[in-house]
Amino acid sequence: MSVNEALRDLPSVRSFEPAQLAARVDAVLKQTLDDHRLVGAVVLVAQGGELIYQRAAGLADREANVPMREDALFRLSSVSKPITSVAALALVGQGKIGLDDDISRWLPYFKPTLGDGQPALITLRQLLSHTAGLGYGFLESEQGGPYLAAGVSDGLDHCEHSLDENLRRLSRVPLLYQPGSDWGYSIATDVLGGVIAAVTGTTLEAAIDELIVKPLGLRELSFGTRDAERLVPAYLNDQPEPRRMGELEVTPVFAGTAGIRLAPARALDSHAYPSGGSGLVGTAGEFLQFLEALRQGGAPLLPKEQVEEMGKNQTGSLELANWPGRGFGLGFTVLKDPAAAQTAEAVGTWRLGGAYGHSWFVDRVAQLSVVAFTNTAFEGMAGQFTVDLCNAVYGA
């Protein structure tokens, strides 16, 4: 089913009657908090360009008994990916780089090879769609792998080296597959950050500021923060309730993998390199503002044609591990088959999340944007809460 067909089949927007939706979402939040699967959350729902639900629920800091607040600052982790991707596409819209350009034009040192030593060309499109042959250290085996051996940071831990040095280390690791031939969630967005910095002749921080922050009039989005009071503590799901994260948590997202290295204090370290894939800090409200700009056509960030390209499935019939029924666009997943994904979302819906406990989706057919930022990994990213919230929004 195409997006246009889905538009014809859309039920009346009365199914999103605010009072009924609020009652359903409130019930999900209450149950999830009562079950001790989340510590706190901010949930926002916009439909047709209007905010129809907003709530801060639970606690920002459980140990200090501090309530969650709507303007709380969160470690965005992979919520950073669509933001960095839009910055790159803004440069495409300005004619400064092409989607199918070889990135070695901008990063001459970044010339990774295949496992047999043969050179490989990587394009901007492949970075954006995660088809570049790259991986993530946290997805390597429990015994580790070449990323760990090379000291490549995933962008969530503390490391002493710069973005440039991290990319140089990465470039010496063989690619996992011929670029364009497969798909794999990866550190590609950090490489994208390096490309953005090179194309603009500045730092990634400065480029994000010029291409995203200033056009939208944002005040909170940045790489890291000095506002420790509003930055919510990070929690990790455990039994019988989530536990507060320590200085470094190494925990598998998927069984049998090396585990993601989460260092919550990285967000307060002004010397941490800017990770385009996971390093931003921001609020739920400003991220909703960003999504709504895209959903409504892209202004003032992108030309409409770039938004359309971003929302196309770029991965064809390739299967996305752990995302049945979805393909990948230029910065986020794109729903292909609602039945396979077991969701009420319409075909073409954009969705992604963040390891520190975030999820979001944009259903352009229903003119719907939903943001749920929590302080609890991994329930807020991929737990039952995300399923229940989606069902509550649609009344499914």
Catalytic residues: 78
* Distance of alpha carbon 145 from the chain centroid: 24
Cβ atoms within 10 A of the Cβ of 203, count? Answer: 15
User: Angle 170-176-182 (CA atoms, 0-180°, nearest 5)?
Assistant: 125
| Alpha-helical regions (H) of the chain | 3-8, 18-34, 80-93, 124-129, 146-150, 163-171, 188-200, 204-208, 214-216, 284-295, 304-310, 338-341, 379-382, 384-394
Collapsing DSSP to helix, strand or coil, 295 comes out as helix
Token pair belonging to 160: 């002493």
Residue among 253, 62, 239, 226 nearest 154 (CA): 253
The tokens describing 218, both together, are: 């944002």
What is the 3 state secondary structure string of 350-394? EEEEECCCEEEEEECCCCEEEEEEECEECHHHHCHHHHHHHHHHH
**Token pair of 186 as six digits:** 């990866």
The torsion angle over the Cα atoms of residues 261, 313, 81 and 373, rounded to 10 degrees, is -80
